[in-house]
Structure 1
């Protein structure tokens, strides 16, 4: 594996004419990556899968690395694998379907903090909106609002999210976006708490044979459609 790292670093230095500091940064991050692969008992390029890279991202988060540092590591890994595939050293690029995290920036301030808190409190503070509706759905809707606000995911991404995509120990969520591209986003403690409450107290009561592993379910126990979820948000 080190042989390919040397070839890649020479490419960065000689062909792309990157600065010494930049090449050294790539070297440090990729040595860390190769060490991780060895710990995973990976001995050849063809054995590396997308799941290995995702697992490393989670491991880096557990170590307390900031989003900017994790993004830098992922950029180095993606560049490394793209180069190896382009030059014919491997048949596939396991990092191609993973989006580089956009530094996990906060959502734009369309609403101020007070307005956002009022919106998130609606399912519990305005019972008339949910007159005649089971309290389970109120808890579900609050979890959906918290989840959307904390992660910034699209409606189309939320309805495809599954229980296995939640990584509670590191407060992260695996999201599948356009073109089946995968990215990891932070969820935050409040949204995670609301989601876990929903999973513990609500989802088991809604789930049936049609539910599969989808995270959020409608009152019939089925995964939401885009239109169905929009109706929830318009209440």
Structure 2
């Protein structure tokens, strides 16, 4: 099993540039599948009936359709790879039906809630200045949290208000940000970052208390802290600010293609989910305000 899975994971890392978290997810899904099959079944001996049986097994365990669908996607990618490498001639997943997954509208904050959150850090401390700059930049650009913590000093053009960002698959995009984020970054870089750097020479923009690059997990903890201190009674993730960024732009007339480019979506259909959010919010506003709604 390991002899088959590891070359596949290496292919995903090199050819598709997937993140470590995504690679781990593929590996876990495949290991779970082969544990279900048992040690006597080799990867090359798997047939369609066994793939279907595994999906049924996941459903019996009470797994959601999203989980079942993700597992099938991992297995399918693995067997596409084996066929591509001419290890197999027939892909056992070809005619396996993908479970229908209901598209959920992303959670979005109101503009007022965003302002409460962005005003929560204490800007008078180095860590507070950093947190303020991180939150402002996340909302100003809609970047992913993994992209946020990876920003290097040379990626910022503070005078012009642009950020160079390396997204999924190492794709580069240039994203503008506004004056408020620009001011927060300038203040942090001049006043807060030198005190956090501890002369370590790190080129990462956002540093932790040890002077090392801030981690995704570290930012998650900070976000939870500021959500509570701001009195926001909504479960917020870093992606919530990304969703809010896109929705607020579209609500104010931004071009869908421009939003797609800033978010780094390969397919515009991914970005179009935010048009559904804006329509839903308009409908809610109408129902709340119109006397004959």
TM bracket, shorter-chain basis = 0.3 to 0.5
TM norm structure 2? 0.39
Q: Who wins on radius of gyration, i.e. which is larger? A: 2
TM norm structure 1? 0.48
